[in-house]
């Protein structure tokens, strides 16, 4: 079977690296299928459009404008240009390949013509959308777009593209039950029979040798962290969707605690807010680091006790944060500080691996920290890993998709 995957993720260039898309593509390859991937090479990389084969996977990088970590104008124009650039590259480099399965993930929602062109070659091909976020509503929630006025014209254009994407997709794989419910409620023209859960997933990680208490103390000492206190860690992107202003307020409320510690690692457009807080308040219970190399971050995370997730309270769409799975895979319980539409926290509480608190209530955050400190954290961590094994492995996602081709 020939599988085409369209993605915004440049991480697929290193097909053997761990990731939600690389793990899934390797699974298709290892099951005997021919895999073809198209991804953007942003202009900042200086790389031209080029095709290469890595470990049996055909990977086509298409030179584009910068579509991440750039101005709103360049990002917007770049997103709109993705479709014609991908279409031209597919016709040139994969000209005579009849694809049997056409996979694509959001963002963006602008691959419609590419999908239709691939489907035209083989009308029996299955088109499958991996719905990772719900755009343009998420932009409306954060005030980056509106449904009226001049910005409303942009919203209406993208909303038409979103509906068309749903229409041409034979199946839509959502991140969680709340995502399925949202798609069906707000798109009544979409048949319930084509919407299902196909969340982010990873290969089961190899067993890591337990470094023991002394090993964790060593890692903590390296970063100047308390050796014997429970540590809560937030790692990842620090942009507008994460509600960093609320995270800062929460850290102000716990900055002088002596019974636990907080570690924040990452980068993004909102990082300066955290930096300003640390420079101004000199918090005893909070440590802030810019992005660390992956291996260093993984070791640091292993030496911590509870993972933190933050999302902006204004979201009306049920996001499912990508940060969740690495916490579960490393046997870390979570605290999900999110909007009430997100079901990450409720699923964690129902399955005994975490807590929920609303991301507009600092007092609730403090209370939730107290609840976590009083809980059996090691047992909750074991529950977290078991939930990953039962719901979020690559095998689960692969089986969900492949059943439609048998």
Distance, in Å, from the CA atom of 13 to the CA atom of 58, rounded to the nearest integer, reads 10
Contact (Cβ atoms closer than 8 angstroms) between residue 181 and residue 379: no
| Residues 205-225 pLDDT 10s | 886 555 666 778 899 999 999
| Residues 279-333 pLDDT 10s | 999 999 999 999 888 888 888 988 999 999 999 999 999 988 888 999 999 999 9
Q: Is the pLDDT of residue 52 over 90?
A: yes
Q: What is the pLDDT of residue 209?
A: 54
Q: What is the pLDDT of residue 236?
A: 86
Q: Is the pLDDT of residue 358 over 90?
A: yes
Cα dist from 228 to 257, 305, 376, whole Å? 14, 11, 16
Give the model's confidence band at 82: pLDDT under 50 very low, under 70 low, under 90 confident, else very high: confident
% of the chain with per-residue pLDDT over 90: 73
Q: What is the pLDDT of residue 165?
A: 95
Place of tokens 């689960």: 396
SS (H, E, C) the chain: CEEEEECCCHHHHCCCCCCHHHHHHHHHHHCCCEEEEEEEEEHHHCCCCEEEEECCEEEEEEEECCCCCCCHHHHHHHHHHHHHHHHHHHHHHCCCCCCCEEEEECCCCCCHHHHHHHHHHCCCCEEEEECCCCCCHHHHHCCCCCCCHHHHHHHHHHHHHHHHHHHHCCEEEECCHHHHHHHHHHCCCCCHHHEEECCCCECCCCCCCCCHHHHHHHHHHHCCCCCCCCEEEEEEECCHHHCHHHHHHHHHHHCCCCCCEEEEEEECCCHHHHHHHHHHHCCCCEEEEECCCHHHHHHHHHCCCEEEEECCCCCCCCCCCCCHHHHHHCCCCEEEEECCCCCHHHHHHHCCCEEEEECCCHHHHHHHHHHHHHCCHHHHHHHHHHHHHHHCEHHHHHHHHHHHHC
| Residues 156-188 pLDDT 10s | 988 999 999 999 999 999 999 999 999 999 999
Q: What is the pLDDT of residue 9?
A: 87
Q: Residue 358 has which token pair?
A: 């609303």
* Plot region of 32 (φ>0 → left; ψ -120 to 50 → alpha; else → beta): left
Cα dist from 163 to 5, 91, 92, 106, 146, whole Å? 20, 25, 28, 13, 17
- The residue-averaged pLDDT of 53-69 equals 90
Q: Is the pLDDT of residue 72 over 80?
A: no
Cβ neighbours around 158 below 10 Å, total? 22
| Residues 228-279 pLDDT 10s | 999 999 998 888 889 999 999 999 999 999 999 999 999 988 999 999 999 9
Contact (Cβ atoms closer than 8 angstroms) between residue 32 and residue 54: no
Q: What is the pLDDT of residue 208?
A: 57
Q: What is the pLDDT of residue 212?
A: 63
CA 93 distance to own-chain centroid: 29
Distance, in Å, from the CA atom of 8 to the CA atom of 68, rounded to the nearest integer, reads 9
Query: What is the b/e burial string over 161-177, where b = at least 16 CB atoms within 10 angstroms of the residue's CB?
Result: bbeebbebbebbbbbbe
Q: Residue 400 has which token pair?
A: 């969900």
CA angle 57, 61, 65 (to 5 degrees): 155
| Residues 103-131 pLDDT 10s | 999 987 889 999 999 999 999 999 999 99
Distance, in Å, from the CA atom of 235 to the CA atom of 223, rounded to the nearest integer, reads 15
Q: What is the pLDDT of residue 119?
A: 95
Beta-carbon contacts of 77 under 8 Å, excluding residues fewer than 6 positions away, are 65
Distance, in Å, from the CA atom of 174 to the CA atom of 181, rounded to the nearest integer, reads 10
Distance, in Å, from the CA atom of 16 to the CA atom of 26, rounded to the nearest integer, reads 8
Q: What is the mean pLDDT of the chain?
A: 92
Strand partners, 230: none
Give the model's confidence band at 366: pLDDT under 50 very low, under 70 low, under 90 confident, else very high: very high
Q: What is the pLDDT of residue 211?
A: 61
């Amino acid at each position: 079977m020939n599988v085409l995957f369209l993605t915004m993720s440049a991480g697929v260039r290193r097909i053997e690296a761990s990731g939600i898309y690389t793990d899934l593509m390797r699974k298709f390859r290892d099951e005997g299928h021919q895999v073809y991937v198209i991804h953007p090479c942003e202009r900042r990389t200086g790389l031209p459009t080029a095709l290469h084969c890595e470990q049996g996977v055909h990977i086509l990088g298409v030179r584009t404008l910068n579509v991440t970590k750039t101005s709103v104008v360049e990002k917007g124009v770049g997103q709109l240009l993705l479709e014609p650039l991908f279409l031209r590259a597919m016709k040139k480099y994969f000209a005579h390949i009849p694809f049997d399965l056409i996979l694509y993930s959001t963002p963006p929602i602008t691959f419609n013509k590419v999908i239709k062109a691939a489907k035209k070659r083989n009308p029996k091909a299955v088109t499958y959308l991996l719905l990772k976020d719900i755009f343009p509503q998420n932009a409306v929630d954060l005030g980056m777009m509106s449904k009226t006025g001049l910005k409303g014209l942009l919203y209406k254009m993208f909303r038409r593209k979103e509906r068309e994407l749903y229409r041409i997709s034979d199946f839509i794989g959502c991140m969680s039950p709340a995502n399925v419910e949202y798609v069906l409620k707000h798109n009544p023209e979409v048949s319930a029979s084509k919407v299902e859960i196909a969340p982010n997933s990873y290969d089961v990680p190899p067993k890591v040798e337990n470094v023991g208490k002394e090993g964790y103390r060593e890692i903590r000492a390296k970063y100047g962290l308390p050796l014997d206190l429970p540590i809560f860690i937030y790692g990842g992107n620090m942009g507008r969707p994460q509600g960093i202003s609320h995270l800062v307020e929460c850290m102000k409320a716990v900055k002088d605690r002596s019974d636990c510690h907080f570690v924040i690692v990452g980068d993004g457009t909102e990082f300066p807010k955290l930096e300003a807080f640390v420079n101004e308040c000199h918090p005893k219970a909070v440590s802030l680091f810019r992005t660390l190399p992956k291996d260093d971050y993984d070791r640091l995370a292993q030496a911590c006790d509870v993972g933190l997730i933050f999302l902006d309270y204004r979201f009306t769409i049920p996001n499912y944060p990508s940060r969740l799975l690495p916490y579960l895979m490393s046997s870390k319980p979570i605290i999900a500080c999110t909007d009430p539409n997100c079901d990450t926290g409720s699923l964690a509480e129902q399955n005994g691996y975490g807590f929920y608190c609303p991301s507009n209530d600092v007092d609730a955050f403090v209370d939730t920290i107290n609840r976590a400190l009083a809980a059996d954290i090691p047992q909750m961590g074991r529950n977290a890993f078991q939930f990953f094994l039962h719901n979020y492995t690559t095998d689960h996602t692969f089986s969900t998709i492949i059943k439609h081709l048998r």
